[in-house]
């Protein structure tokens, strides 16, 4: 899968393209470092998205509070319904390591592109 093609497709969605990092998000990333943000992304995806049986699916990702949360909404990686709709990842199975890596890499690319816009 070509990440840039995916981001291009997402940018054509009125809803997905409405998400952007705010100044406080950029400061947080700069303070923590991009590798720590990636660690957070893995942690959030493993806990909030990877299990197949999420009791709060569709409500597990806040709309603010962490740059990864913003990226998840921008990239349609916020809940299992969106993962299925955009990426055809079935809801009724645990995410594989490959799928988790795909999601985190996509989120980090989106975050890096947002950081570059702020320069």
Contact assessment for residue 11 and residue 69, using Cβ atoms and an 8 Å cutoff: no
| Residue 118: per-residue pLDDT | 77
The pair of structure tokens assigned to 5 is 């093609």
Task: Find the domain containing 112 and state its range.
Answer: 3-117
Number of structural domains (the chain) is: 1
The DSSP output letter for 89 is: -
Report how far apart, in Å, the C-alpha atoms of 5 and of each of 16, 39, 41, 78, 83 are.
14, 25, 21, 19, 16
Q: What is the pLDDT along the chain (119 residues), one digit of tens a residue?
A: 699 999 999 999 999 999 999 999 999 999 999 999 999 999 999 999 999 988 888 899 999 999 999 999 999 999 999 999 999 999 999 999 999 999 999 999 999 999 998 77
Both tokens of 87, joined, read: 């990426």
List the Cα angle 48/53/58 in 5-degree steps.
Answer: 55
């Amino acid at each position: 899968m070509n990440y840039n093609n995916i981001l291009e497709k997402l940018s054509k969605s009125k809803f997905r393209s409405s998400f952007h990092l705010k100044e406080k998000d950029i400061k947080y990333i700069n303070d923590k470092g991009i590798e720590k943000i990636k660690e957070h992304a893995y942690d959030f995806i493993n806990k909030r998205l990877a299990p197949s049986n999420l009791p709060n699916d569709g409500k597990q990702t806040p709309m603010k509070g962490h740059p990864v949360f913003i990226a998840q909404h921008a990239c349609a990686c916020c809940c299992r319904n969106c993962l299925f709709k955009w990426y055809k990842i079935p809801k009724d199975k645990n995410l594989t390591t490959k799928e988790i890596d795909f999601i985190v890499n996509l989120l980090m690319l989106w975050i890096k592109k947002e950081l570059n816009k702020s320069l």
